[in-house]
Amino acid sequence: MGNYCFNELSVGMTSERSYIFTEQRVEEFSTLIDDKAPVHVDIEFAKSQGFGGRVVHGLFVQSVLSGMLGNEIPGPKSVINNISMKMHNPVLVGQAVNYKIEITALTPSVAAISLSFSGMVEEKIVISGKALCSFPNSP
């Protein structure tokens, strides 16, 4: 786990993680947020909609980034001010997403960190976006 202070971070620092969306994890997420739409839980329905299998909830794919921001870069001393992202392709149950976060800018006057991130399934991008985090108790 990263435990950085603001002044220990620099533009270009990265964090990477691979996360497998196993059947069990998707089932648990479905129950947790009470979203059992058939495209997520019914493989025949998902295939009838043109997908190769059950589709992982988009918000689940996004939520892994929260852990990366909070645990690695910028780390547990920071908070997320805002985050925006775009889903490019569906993630199917059983697939692994390789996430990467990179610091793109620092704003020392308010101890803020701008980051970009992406998620890939093999060579295909599935998610990308930007986040702004800050250190409430800088430095």
Q: What does the block give as tokens for 40?
A: 């997520």
CB 119 within 8 A of CB 98: yes
Interface residue with another protein, options 22, 62, 98, 114 (CB under 8 A): 114
**Least distance in angstroms from the C-beta of 38 to another protein:** 34
Residues 52-81 that bind another protein (CB under 8 A): 79, 81
Select the span of 40-48, 70-78, 94-102, 108-116 touching another protein (CB under 8 A).
Answer: 108-116
Nearest CB to another protein, comparing residues 48 and 107: 107
State the distance between the two ends of the chain, measured CA to CA, in whole angstroms.
18
HSE-CB for 118 with a 13 A CA cutoff: 9
Q: What are phi and psi of 41, to 5 degrees?
A: -120, -10
Cβ partners under 8 Å of residue 106, min gap 6: 6, 9, 10, 11, 112, 113, 114
Select the span of 59-67, 92-100, 107-115, 118-126 touching another protein (CB under 8 A).
Answer: 107-115
Alpha carbons 107 and 127: distance in angstroms, whole number: 25
- Regarding 136 and contact with another protein (CB under 8 A), the answer is yes
Nearest CB to another protein, comparing residues 41 and 85: 85
Interface residue with another protein, options 10, 82, 84, 137 (CB under 8 A): 82
- Regarding 83 and contact with another protein (CB under 8 A), the answer is no
Binding site for another protein (CB under 8 A): 79, 81-82, 105, 107-112, 114, 132, 134, 136
